[in-house]
Amino acid sequence: AILKLFRCSLPTFPENGDWKLLSGTGKPGEKVPKGTVIQFHCNNGYKLSMQSPYVVCDGIWNSFPICQKLCPPVYPSSTYSLKCIDSMGMPISCTEATEGTYLQFNCAPFYESQVGSKSRLCRDGSWNYPKPICLPVCGQKIGETAKPLIFGAKPNEKLQYPWVT
């Protein structure tokens, strides 16, 4: 009877994922001894809600991760910089954004956003606005502070153009 106090029932599989025992086999609902470790995994397009995929039976299960739908990845660009903060307030890659992740972007010098908001929110696997787009500011003199966006490019003398021979 005492042994039963230190046993856990295996959980159901998470929606859009599964789990496996690190040693042995088992099915949802089966009893396992204290110290049993489960490793959770999510299907493609989903990410675990917890950092660690491992959960240990300590007589009871503490909590189980869920599989959260990923938003489409957003990559940095030469025309804008990115920063993503997850729902817990932690910085994460904007390629791993899940429910509640905020994306902040800033346009490079001499570029501007055509959409007023410079933030996006990941909800139900999609961003609440299209991906960031920063377009060149037309009709404004660039001056000496602009840096070339072409690898290996260097400033030219006035009225010299690299594409004219």
Contact by Cβ (8 Å): 102, 90? no
Q: For residue 1, what pLDDT is reported?
A: 44
Output the pLDDT for position 2.
47
The domain segmentation of the chain, as residue ranges, is 2-68, 80-135
User: Cβ–Cβ contacts within 10 Å for residue 131, how many?
Assistant: 17
Report pLDDT digits (tens) over 43-91: 999 999 998 999 999 988 989 999 999 999 999 999 999 999 999 899 9
Please tell me the predicted confidence (pLDDT) of residue 71.
Answer: 97
Tens of pLDDT, residue by residue over 102-140, are 999 999 999 999 877 899 999 999 999 988 999 999 865
CA atoms in the 13 A half-sphere facing the CB of 89: 0
In order of 37, 142, 164, the CA distances from 155 in angstroms are 60, 12, 15
Task: Tell me which residue of 132, 133, 67, 71 sits closest to 101, measured CA to CA.
Answer: 71
Domains 2-68 and 80-135 in one fold: yes
Residues ≥6 apart with Cβ < 8 Å to 129: 115, 117, 120
In angstroms, the Cα distances linking 41 to 32, 45, 92, 142 are 19, 12, 19, 50
Tell the CATH topology of 2-68: Complement Module; domain 1 (2.10.70)
pLDDT beyond 60 at 163: no
pTM of the predicted model over 0.85 = no
> Which amino acid, one-letter code, is at 79?
T
pLDDT of residue 47: 95
Of the CATH numbers 3.30.70, 1.10.10, 3.40.630, 2.10.70, which one belongs to the domain with range 80-135?
2.10.70
Average pLDDT over residues 17-24: 95
143-155 pLDDT, tens digit per residue, is 556 666 666 666 6
CA distances from 9 to 21, 40, 61 (A): 12, 15, 9
